[in-house]
Chains A and B, each alone.
Chain A
Amino acid sequence: MDRRNTDGFLTRRDFLRAWVVGSAAAGLGGGLWTAAESFGADVLGTGATDVWVLHGQDKAKLMNAALRVIQDNGGFGTSVKTLALKVNAAWPRTPETGANTHPALVSAFLEGCRGMGVGKVTVPENPCGRPAETFTRSGLQQAVEAAGSEMIDLKAHTEYYRPVDLPKARNLKTAKVASQYIESDAVVNMPVAKHHGSAILTIAMKNWMGAVQDRGFWHRNGLHQCIADFCTWMKPTWTVVDATRTIMDRGPRGPAKTLKTPNLLIVSRDQVAADVFAGTLFHDDPLKQVRYLAIAREMKIGETDLKRMKIHRQDVKA
């Protein structure tokens, strides 16, 4: 008997069963949960902020599981005609390097979006490398176009930038942001988790530097404060962190000397919580190491206390 839906997603029953099995596996200490093990099963169900941690080898199935989580928890909203997806497509590096969001995840996400009735998905990006080189070497242009979506090169299309006031910000009072991230019905942040020279880690919060025009201002005016400032205004509908492979040093560009493969997707509505959880893959206490996370705690931008998160674990069979 096949319990799978025709669209390839897990059914709720499958999901629950996997969830229970996954939690049990983690509780027994036999899981592959790396740093997350230290606060194992006991925190389940005690917090208010949900964080889903999906583990699996197969990237497409992993993303399908993430989409099922999203669907079961309100989806992208009602009648979503436009969705803006913020991947990390910053560097001219191949997918296995881990410098950009993995294209297989993006392909599966875009396909899933179509299944969920999302109208148009755009992927605007202001990359660090030359756009043509970066988008093709990262495999993201091919993935996005194959799915019939649009990869937007914000270096060429500066006409999309709109000035935005950030009333709760301390340093970054105003920024020019790609209009798709302002006007779309839903916004999804799909960064890759990796080491970074000056930001220490770049995951979800810092990923927004690729959606604004003037990154130089951030560097000149307190990088960590500006990263936090932008997230006082930018609240994506969902955040899906690609931690399938993580650059542990020599980030953000790589190739890393140490590349780990946690094979995780971290899904949450709260990008700060996703960052803190993903941060545990790199540091025992990310809030001590990463200043913008400490600022996020102080400014109450999102949940930074792991003990107050409700962490759902799920093993996705390859």
Chain B
Amino acid sequence: MRAGIRKVLNWTVRLAVLALAVGLALAGPLPAYLARWLDEPSLVDAWPAGLTPAASVVGWLASAVGRRGAYLRVAALVAPLLVLGLAAWRGRLFCRWICPLGTVYALPARLSFRRLLIKRPKGGYVFWAIAGMALAGAPVLLFLDPLATFNRLTPLARGTVSAAGLALCGLVALFLVLGFVQPRVWCTHLCPLGYCFDGLRRARRRLWPGGRSRKPKAVDPRGDNSADPVQLGRREVLAGLLVGLPLGAALRFGPRAWGKGAPPPVLPPGAESPETFAGLCSRCYACVNVCPTRVIRPRGGAGRPLLEAFAPALDTSAGYCEEFCTNCTHVCPTGAIRPLTEEVKHARQIGTAAVIQDACLAWEDGEYCMVCQEYCPFFAVEADYAEDGVPRPVVNTDRCRGCGACESECPAVRKGKAIKVTGVDRQRRVPDPSP
């Protein structure tokens, strides 16, 4: 009877947290079909949208190591510290009561065939591989973090996801299906966060014995093994680091053999360089969710360095980075996008535009157009007057921030857009920020 009440309570809490996590993720602009019914789509400040992925202790630790510096914003600190404390006290309590991805994976557990796909837990290897990559400055495997994985689902609800975004979301579908064979196989046997919780609890008990202890029991192929204390073996640490360190270094510093020659992507303001951004990004897509113009989109890996696979970037042909918005800089859980003030963001150069004269209505057809100049918030498009007085656009790259307003609004169609933005190797303050 008591177990029954506990179960009801457990599921009530889990579903409430799940609903909250979805709500937080969607706290940015709502999908068009919902926003249509609201006057102001961004109902709350953007930062709660990053709270779910920010709660991951693994993401927080790995990105701190990867960036060689802890992320000390209160919003980014409170959640992981709470989770850390909870784990030290009760180990995997988070997994069984709070983790929204755990709740999703627990759904098919009762219907499972209960066969063993993976015998011994492998979460340790994943965790230490992430640690190794973090030491090399590119903890790319952070995309396996359960909270980032969960948050990645939310662009689906907004209807803005590309095929690229779907590919990584496929992870969830895969482990849901595998859950019918081995219940919660991800949570118990692969999750790096769960492994981290076990380790934290062990460490705490070694320092300060106490709290409720569970008798160790053998791994039961048909049972829920999430509460089992995992043997923290040297093997996992060594093997993980041995794979992770060189892999991270190869991705981060190796020859950009894959996708060499591709221009740098246009990244959200607050990203430093394509390498640091792609290396630190956990692909949680919180920035995608909060972008009011939806210019930040997940993209695939074709023709790009492997490091950048599935990382979001700005699609300036479809939208632009709004002049006064800093939403994405305040939601990034790993600091791949640093928080910026409006003033700093306003002067940040994330790319540069260039006019393609033979596609341009003014240069090629002699039309009075200059839409690019009209939309440029920074007066970076200047007029070059033809003999008959028709103004033709010229980009002043000292003023251009690369926001993409010119490109997204360019009305030329015959040869495609006549002005295009490419990213920069390193974001910086624009040389001429004068108003």
A219-B411 CB under 8 A given contacts A197-B383, A255-B435: yes
Task: Name the interface residues of A209-254: CB closer than 8 Å to any CB of B.
Answer: 215-217, 219-224, 250, 252-253
Task: List residues of chain B with CB within 8 A of the CB of A146.
Answer: none
A157 to B32, CA, bound (A): 11
Among B39, B292, B374, point to the contact of A198 (Cβ < 8 A): B374
Q: Which of B207-215, B245-253, B363-371, B425-433 forms part of the interface with chain A? A: B363-371
Q: Is the Cβ of A198 less than 8 Å from the Cβ of B369?
A: yes
Q: Is the Cβ of A130 less than 8 Å from the Cβ of B40?
A: no
What are 26 pairs between A and B in contact, CB < 8 Å? Answer: A92-B322, A128-B375, A128-B409, A132-B292, A141-B39, A197-B370, A197-B374, A197-B391, A198-B362, A198-B368, A198-B373, A198-B374, A199-B368, A216-B411, A219-B368, A219-B371, A219-B411, A220-B361, A220-B365, A220-B412, A223-B368, A223-B369, A224-B368, A253-B375, A253-B376, A253-B377
Q: Is A156 close to B, CB under 8 A?
A: yes
Q: Is A133 close to B, CB under 8 A?
A: yes
Q: Is the Cβ of B361 less than 8 Å from the Cβ of A132?
A: no
In the complex, what's the smallest C-beta–C-beta distance from B366 to chain A, in angstroms? 10
Q: Is the Cβ of B368 less than 8 Å from the Cβ of A220?
A: no
Q: Is B6 close to A, CB under 8 A?
A: no
Q: Is B229 close to A, CB under 8 A?
A: no
Q: Is the Cβ of B40 less than 8 Å from the Cβ of A92?
A: no
Q: Is the Cβ of A133 less than 8 Å from the Cβ of B324?
A: yes
Q: Is the Cβ of A128 less than 8 Å from the Cβ of B411?
A: no
Interface centre among B35, B371, B374, B375 (most CB of A within 10 A): B374
In order of increasing CB-CB distance, the 7 nearest A-B pairs are A216-B411, A198-B370, A198-B368, A197-B370, A223-B368, A219-B411, A219-B369
In the complex, what's the smallest C-beta–C-beta distance from A132 to chain B, in angstroms? 6
Q: Is the Cβ of B374 less than 8 Å from the Cβ of A128?
A: yes
Q: Is B323 close to A, CB under 8 A?
A: yes
A137 to B383, CA, bound (A): 28
Residue in chain A with minimal CB distance to B40: A132
Among B325, B367, B379, B435, point to the contact of A219 (Cβ < 8 A): B367
Q: Is B413 close to A, CB under 8 A?
A: yes
In the complex, what's the smallest C-beta–C-beta distance from B109 to chain A, in angstroms? 42
Residues of A within 8 A of B (CB): 92, 128, 130, 132-133, 136-137, 141, 156-157, 196-199, 215-217, 219-224, 250, 252-253, 255, 291
Task: Name the interface residues of B302-332: CB closer than 8 Å to any CB of A.
Answer: 322-325
Q: Is B264 close to A, CB under 8 A?
A: no
Task: List residues of chain B with CB within 8 A of the CB of A252.
Answer: 374
Interface centre among A196, A216, A217, A255 (most CB of B within 10 A): A216
Among B35, B42, B325, point to the contact of A156 (Cβ < 8 A): B35
Q: Is the Cβ of A156 less than 8 Å from the Cβ of B371?
A: no
A253-B411 CB under 8 A given contacts A133-B322, A197-B391, A223-B367: no
Among B41, B368, B391, point to the contact of A132 (Cβ < 8 A): B41
Q: Is the Cβ of A250 less than 8 Å from the Cβ of B379?
A: yes
Task: List residues of chain A with CB within 8 A of the CB of B325.
Answer: 133
Task: Name the interface residues of B353-398: CB closer than 8 Å to any CB of A.
Answer: 361-362, 365, 367-371, 373-377, 379, 383, 391
Q: Is the Cβ of B371 less than 8 Å from the Cβ of A133?
A: no
Q: Is B10 close to A, CB under 8 A?
A: no
Task: List residues of chain A with CB within 8 A of the CB of B377.
Answer: 253
A128 to B94, CA, bound (A): 47
Q: Mark B397-424, 1 if CB is under 8 A from A, else 0.
A: 0000000000001011100000000000
User: What 4 new A-B contacts, CB under 8 Å, besides A92-B322, A92-B323, A253-B376?
Assistant: A133-B325, A219-B361, A220-B369, A223-B369
Q: Is the Cβ of A130 less than 8 Å from the Cβ of B370?
A: no
In the complex, what's the smallest C-beta–C-beta distance from A51 to chain B, in angstroms? 27
Q: Mark B29-70, 1 if CB is under 8 A from A, else 0.
A: 000100110011110000000000000000000000000000
Q: Mark B208-224, 1 if CB is under 8 A from A, else 0.
A: 00000000000000000
Q: Is B12 close to A, CB under 8 A?
A: no
A255 to B434, CA, bound (A): 12
In the complex, what's the smallest C-beta–C-beta distance from A227 to chain B, in angstroms? 10
In the complex, what's the smallest C-beta–C-beta distance from B295 to chain A, in angstroms? 11
In the complex, what's the smallest C-beta–C-beta distance from A311 to chain B, in angstroms? 30
Task: List residues of chain B with CB within 8 A of the CB of A199.
Answer: 368
Interface centre among A221, A222, A224, A253 (most CB of B within 10 A): A253
Task: List residues of chain A with CB within 8 A of the CB of B39.
Answer: 132, 141
A198 to B371, CA, bound (A): 8
Q: Is the Cβ of B368 less than 8 Å from the Cβ of A156?
A: no
Q: Is B341 close to A, CB under 8 A?
A: no
Q: Is the Cβ of A130 less than 8 Å from the Cβ of B435?
A: no
Q: Is B231 close to A, CB under 8 A?
A: no
Q: Is the Cβ of B391 less than 8 Å from the Cβ of A198?
A: yes
Q: Is B162 close to A, CB under 8 A?
A: no
Task: List residues of chain B with CB within 8 A of the CB of A133.
Answer: 292, 322, 324-325
A92 to B346, CA, bound (A): 14
Task: List residues of chain B with CB within 8 A of the CB of A250.
Answer: 379
A215-B391 CB under 8 A given contacts A223-B367, A223-B369: no
Among B42, B374, B411, point to the contact of A220 (Cβ < 8 A): B411
A291 to B366, CA, bound (A): 14
In the complex, what's the smallest C-beta–C-beta distance from B336 to chain A, in angstroms? 25
Q: Is the Cβ of B292 less than 8 Å from the Cβ of A156?
A: no
A220 to B418, CA, bound (A): 12
A133 to B409, CA, bound (A): 17
Task: Name the interface residues of B13-43: CB closer than 8 Å to any CB of A.
Answer: 32, 35-36, 39-42
Interface centre among A133, A157, A198, A224 (most CB of B within 10 A): A198
A137 to B412, CA, bound (A): 29
Task: List residues of chain A with CB within 8 A of the CB of B376.
Answer: 253
A197 to B376, CA, bound (A): 12
Q: Is the Cβ of A130 less than 8 Å from the Cβ of B374?
A: no
A221 to B411, CA, bound (A): 11
Q: Is the Cβ of B413 less than 8 Å from the Cβ of A220?
A: yes
Among A157, A197, A215, A255, point to the contact of B411 (Cβ < 8 A): A215
Task: List residues of chain A with CB within 8 A of the CB of B383.
Answer: 197
Residue in chain B with minimal CB distance to A141: B39
Q: Is the Cβ of B32 less than 8 Å from the Cβ of A156?
A: yes
A197 to B381, CA, bound (A): 10
A250 to B435, CA, bound (A): 11
